[in-house]
């Protein structure tokens, strides 16, 4: 699914989709036909091609590190889907391969390119809400476990559940928007509230797999403290018993002079502040075409520019950003396991 999203976004911004490799030949054939690109028999065959400058790696988490390293060593620029890898050690191995290759590594933190996220970052940089004090980040799916029983819900292949899948988006975009990149400790609870027997497929793009594995969390509540004293709270679910709309998805950012309430996928931001001692709310308009397309096209424009210039843009996700997010994820998992706050 995500490979098609990348191909469409790349094509929309003028990048040539040259080739595809996927061991599932039927799906690869359909992809090749849809985007008029070559079907390669192996990863090595693809990486040997001199007419390919960069690759998008959109595969299960347990293959991120090995394929990213192979691509970098083959002299290709890499756009690597989130999460960066399964562990800090794997992230560090990718960074070592990047440094040795001299090629570009950009992380697939696409939420950074949401028009609302871009506008919110600008507002904070301009001092609209003063110093940032607290961030509440929420992403709750009602029935959105991806491919229950498949690799997403198998810890050995995924590294975890909703936290490492969709929670990484919130961790990255909240630090990116606020400019706070020095988390020092984390406390979290990771739970599995559903089972294969109690879960009914509803809204996700991949249906449950019979007799599969489900050994990861579907619900996370975590708190991370930055060295500045600012507190980040993350509320994430693949599935929940809460009624739809009980909590709004997005970010609430509170500062010393005001607040921002941000739905990443709409055309307005709510700005709360005080005037003459009274609480007031203003709407900040956001220029949006179609937010999902805008975000992925923004990501691919940045990747194309990075390949041309040899440098990842400061607004794009770097390998160091991916490593930092992995450190936060690992700390939340460790905190949940130990039932206590842990250092990052």
306 part of a folded domain? yes
Nearest CA to 260 out of 282, 292, 241 is that of 282
**Per residue in 117-150, is it b (16+ CB within 10 Å) or e — as a string?**
bbbbbebbeeebbeebeebbbbbbbbbbbbbbbb
d(CA 17, CA 158): 27
76 part of a folded domain? yes
pTM, two decimal places:
0.96
82 part of a folded domain? yes
pLDDT reported for residue 15: 97
For 23-40, what is each residue's pLDDT tens digit? 999 999 999 999 999 999
pLDDT reported for residue 28: 95
172 part of a folded domain? yes
**What is the average per-residue pLDDT within 308-331?**
97
pLDDT reported for residue 211: 85
d(CA 325, CA 86): 11
Q: State whether 53 and 181 are in the same domain.
A: no
For 104-152, what is each residue's pLDDT tens digit? 999 999 999 999 999 999 999 999 999 999 999 999 999 899 989 999 9
pLDDT reported for residue 207: 67
87 part of a folded domain? yes
Domain of 163, in residue numbers? 113-288+323-343
Number of domains in the chain: 2
User: Has residue 1 got a pLDDT over 70?
Assistant: yes
Q: State whether 85 and 71 are in the same domain.
A: yes
pLDDT reported for residue 205: 62
Q: State whether 132 and 187 are in the same domain.
A: yes
293 part of a folded domain? no
131 part of a folded domain? yes
When the pLDDT of each residue in the chain is averaged and rounded to a whole number, the result is 96
Of the chain, the percentage scoring pLDDT greater than 90 comes to: 94
For 238-293, what is each residue's pLDDT tens digit? 999 999 889 999 999 999 999 999 999 999 999 999 999 999 999 999 999 999 99
Q: State whether 123 and 253 are in the same domain.
A: yes
pLDDT reported for residue 206: 65
Q: State whether 105 and 119 are in the same domain.
A: no
Q: State whether 122 and 38 are in the same domain.
A: no
**What is the average per-residue pLDDT within 313-328?**
97
Q: State whether 152 and 201 are in the same domain.
A: yes
Q: State whether 121 and 234 are in the same domain.
A: yes
pLDDT reported for residue 190: 98
Q: State whether 89 and 211 are in the same domain.
A: no
- Here the CATH number for the domain that contains residue 97 is 3.40.50.720
Q: State whether 141 and 37 are in the same domain.
A: no
pLDDT reported for residue 306: 97
pLDDT reported for residue 81: 98
d(CA 87, CA 84): 9
**What is the average per-residue pLDDT within 302-309?**
97
53 part of a folded domain? yes
For 61-86, what is each residue's pLDDT tens digit? 999 999 999 999 999 999 999 999 99
Q: State whether 145 and 26 are in the same domain.
A: no
Q: State whether 175 and 302 are in the same domain.
A: no
- Here the CATH number for the domain that contains residue 252 is 3.30.360.10
């Amino acid at each position: 699914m995500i490979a098609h999203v990348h191909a469409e976004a790349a094509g929309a911004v003028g990048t040539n989709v040259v080739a595809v490799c996927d061991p599932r030949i039927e799906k690869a054939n359909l992809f090749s036909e849809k985007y008029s690109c070559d079907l390669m028999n192996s990863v090595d065959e693809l990486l040997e091609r001199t007419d390919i400058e960069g690759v998008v790696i959109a595969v299960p988490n347990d293959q991120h590190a090995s394929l990213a390293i192979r691509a970098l060593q083959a002299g290709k620029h890499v756009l690597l889907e989130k999460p960066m890898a399964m562990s800090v050690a794997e992230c560090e191995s990718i960074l070592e391969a990047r440094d040795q290759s001299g090629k570009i590594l950009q992380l697939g933190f696409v939420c950074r390119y949401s028009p609302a996220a871009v506008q919110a970052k600008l507002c904070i940089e301009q001092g609209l809400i003063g110093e940032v004090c607290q961030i509440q980040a929420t992403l709750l799916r009602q029935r959105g476990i991806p491919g229950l029983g498949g690799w997403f819900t198998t810890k050995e292949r995924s590294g975890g559940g909703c936290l490492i899948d969709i929670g990484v988006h919130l961790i990255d975009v909240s630090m990116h928007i606020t400019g706070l990149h020095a988390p020092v400790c984390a406390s979290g609870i990771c739970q599995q509230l559903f089972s294969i027997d109690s879960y009914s497929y509803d809204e996700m793009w991949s249906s449950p797999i019979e007799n599969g594995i489900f050994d990861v969390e579907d619900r996370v509540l975590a708190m991370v403290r930055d060295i500045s004293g600012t507190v980040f709270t993350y509320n994430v679910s693949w599935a929940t018993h809460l009624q739809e709309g009980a909590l709004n998805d997005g970010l609430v950012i509170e500062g010393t002079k005001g607040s921002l309430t941000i739905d990443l996928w709409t055309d307005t931001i709510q700005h709360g502040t005080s005037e003459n001692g009274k609480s007031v709310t203003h709407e900040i308009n956001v220029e949006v075409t179609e937010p999902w397309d805008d975000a992925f096209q923004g990501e691919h424009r940045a990747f194309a520019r990075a390949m041309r210039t040899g440098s990842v843009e400061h607004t794009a996700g770097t390998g160091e950003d991916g490593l930092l997010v992995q450190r936060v994820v690992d700390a939340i998992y460790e905190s949940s396991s130990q039932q206590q706050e842990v250092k990052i």
